[in-house]
Amino acid sequence: MEGYCVKCKAKREIKNPTQVTLKNGKPAVQGVCSVCGTKMFVVGKKL
* Cβ–Cβ under 8 Å, residues 28 and 21: yes
* pLDDT, position 45: 87
* pLDDT, position 47: 84
At 23, the amino acid letter reads: K
pLDDT < 70 stretches in the chain: none
End-to-end CA gap in the chain: 8
* pLDDT, position 37: 95
DSSP-assigned beta bridge partners for residue 30: 18, 41
**Can you tell me the distance from the alpha carbon of 1 to that of 42, in angstroms, rounded to the nearest whole number?**
9
